[in-house]
Amino acid sequence: MPSRLIAVSNRIPAGEPPSGGLVVALKDALALSGGLWIGAHPETGTGREPLEEIQDNGNTHLAFRLSEDDLSDYYLGYANSVLWPLCHRRVDLIDMSAAFEARYRAVNARVGRMIASIARPEDVIWVHDYHFFPLASELRALGLSNRIGFFLHIPFPELGSLSVLSQPEDFSDWLASYNLVGLQTRADVARCLEVYRADPRAEFLVDGSVKFEDRVTEIRSFPIGIDVEDFRTQAARDAPDPFGRAAPESFVIGVDRLDYSKGIPNRFRAFGRYLETRPEGSYPCLVQIAPPTREQVQAYQDITSELEEIAGHLNGAFAELDWVPIRYIHRSIDRTVLARLHRRARVCAVTSIADGMNLVAKEFVAAQDPADPGVLILSRFAGAAEDMTDALLVNPYDIDDMTEAYRRAFAMPLEERQARHTACMEVVQRTDAASWAKQFLAVLRACVPTLPRQVPS
């Protein structure tokens, strides 16, 4: 039997324009390498249904149903109110609950049983993101000896913060059941190794992998990327101006799920400060596209209100009858329109306080006209900043620093814009979606297989 690729992620594409890095990148990568994609059905059920086929623009994926309780305690609860703030350095926003943790473990156990029922011994299993840290442990407990890889799309947590978990020692144990753990950046790898260094059960082998009890895991960085040619082509398409008659003179673009990790309030505040000191006679805009996400979680409701307040305040203070400085769209938009907006923008602002990679930064660079490119303002805390050092790097906590970046970006001479863009584009092309998946899978396939475990009779 040929070896199939089984990819598992909580979110799978289901018709809507995708607005999360995982789906965007994996869609591009799986389109090239093929394979089964398993994830949560967009509609809830009893939580006991078998895997079902689901259609997405001509592609078939497999979906498991979450019950309403799974959705609130596993997805909104443990995944997005404990692990997400933990990994994005907002431990103050963590909402601990024993029910969340129990449900997280139960969903992982159930998804594990479903995968075990369809996986053949020669299949390679690729698990994605923080929703499924324990999935390989579950699969190993069911007797699977397949090569199983894990890729974490978000920042790896800091050792000190892991103590907020009820059983922090489980964390290294969960990861040790994978043959390969892929992380976005070298800094993430360093944080992961620090966790193992602090664990007396771990031993470092000469090839750099970690031996944990009887299991060996490789830990490496694989910076994620986009389908560059596809995005570039969409951006350069000859189509009507997406702004129609209301085209702004010159604008900054921001595109993010409305998440507190994206640092959007300070991006707005810095833009407000820039407006105070901008060159006379200039009428710049900030076009912010921020679709809602995880709206039932209090922290997301708070950030939505905060942003609406800042946008309203700035427009009230600066707008004129024929100019509105902040255009804020609180929904997803079509990717082809998005690509053309990026190309029209003079500046893109990515100001995350923590971010696995940030694909928006790569999309903006890919969309530019190399003869007259826009400028990328990029937070030092986004994974993308590790390699894209020719962007205008900023500290998202420092409003003055970002105000100065807006000033520099709008005033930057063509030659400097071109030089910075060429350097960033080289990174975007070198780390595209196809090479990300290809490199990860090549390393996973070369890993030493795990010995079958004794299944209790």
Instruction: Tell me which stretch binds ligand F6P (CB under 6 A): 19-27, 241-249, 279-287, 421-429.
Output: 19-27
Does 359 engage in binding with ligand ADP (CB under 6 A)? yes
CA distances from 392 to 340, 409, 420 (A): 22, 8, 9
For ligand F6P, give the closer residue by CB, 131 or 340: 131
- CA 41/CA 78 separation, integer angstroms: 18
Select from ligand F6P, ligand ADP, none the partner in contact with residue 254, using the beta carbon and a kind-dependent cut-off of 5 to 8 Å.
Answer: none
For ligand F6P, give the closer residue by CB, 10 or 209: 10
- CA 217/CA 110 separation, integer angstroms: 24
Select from ligand F6P, ligand ADP, none the partner in contact with residue 11, using the beta carbon and a kind-dependent cut-off of 5 to 8 Å.
Answer: ligand F6P
Does 284 engage in binding with ligand F6P (CB under 6 A)? no
Select from ligand ADP, ligand F6P, none the partner in contact with residue 28, using the beta carbon and a kind-dependent cut-off of 5 to 8 Å.
Answer: none
Does 40 engage in binding with ligand F6P (CB under 6 A)? no
CB 235 to ligand ADP: min, Å = 12
Give the strand order in the sheet containing 250-255.
Answer: 326-329, 284-289, 250-255, 347-350, 375-379, 392-394
Contact in structure between 392 and 377 (CB atoms under 8 Å): yes
Residues in 337-356 that interact with ligand F6P by CB under 6 A: 356
Does 21 engage in binding with ligand F6P (CB under 6 A)? yes
In this structure, the number of other CB atoms found within 10 A of the CB of residue 320 comes to 8
Q: Which residues pair with 183 in a beta bridge?
A: 221
**205 Cβ contact list (under 8 Å, min separation 6):** 211, 216
Closest-CB residue for ligand ADP? 21
Select from ligand F6P, ligand ADP, none the partner in contact with residue 140, using the beta carbon and a kind-dependent cut-off of 5 to 8 Å.
Answer: none
- Name the residue among 316, 318, 323, 326 with its Cα closest to residue 265: 326
DSSP-derived secondary structure letter, 91 = G
Does 66 engage in binding with ligand F6P (CB under 6 A)? no
CB 84 to ligand ADP: min, Å = 10
Contact in structure between 265 and 307 (CB atoms under 8 Å): yes
- Phi/psi for 381 (5° steps) reads -95, 5
Does 358 engage in binding with ligand ADP (CB under 6 A)? yes
Catalytic residue among 61, 153, 342, 421: 153
CB 409 to ligand F6P: min, Å = 26
Residues in 191-220 that interact with ligand ADP by CB under 6 A: none
- CA 154/CA 359 separation, integer angstroms: 12
Does 291 engage in binding with ligand ADP (CB under 6 A)? yes
* Residue 326 tokens, joined: 């902040």
Select from ligand ADP, ligand F6P, none the partner in contact with residue 360, using the beta carbon and a kind-dependent cut-off of 5 to 8 Å.
Answer: ligand ADP
Contact in structure between 111 and 74 (CB atoms under 8 Å): no
Return the SS3 of 38: strand
Instruction: Tell me which stretch binds ligand F6P (CB under 6 A): 14-22, 28-36, 87-95, 238-246.
Output: 14-22
**197 Cβ contact list (under 8 Å, min separation 6):** 204
**446 Cβ contact list (under 8 Å, min separation 6):** none
CB 334 to ligand ADP: min, Å = 7
Does 375 engage in binding with ligand F6P (CB under 6 A)? no
Does 211 engage in binding with ligand F6P (CB under 6 A)? no
Does 257 engage in binding with ligand ADP (CB under 6 A)? yes
Does 17 engage in binding with ligand ADP (CB under 6 A)? yes
Instruction: Tell me which stretch binds ligand ADP (CB under 6 A): 54-62, 137-145, 252-260, 420-428.
Output: 252-260
Q: Which of 289, 347, 365, 424 binds ligand ADP (CB under 6 A)?
A: 289
152: exposed, middle or buried (C-beta count within 10 Å: 0-12, 13-18, 19+)?
A: buried
State the alpha helices, DSSP H only, in 52-97: 68-70, 84-87
For ligand F6P, give the closer residue by CB, 357 or 405: 357
For ligand ADP, give the closer residue by CB, 174 or 328: 328
Select from ligand F6P, ligand ADP, none the partner in contact with residue 129, using the beta carbon and a kind-dependent cut-off of 5 to 8 Å.
Answer: ligand F6P
- 355 catalytic per annotation: yes
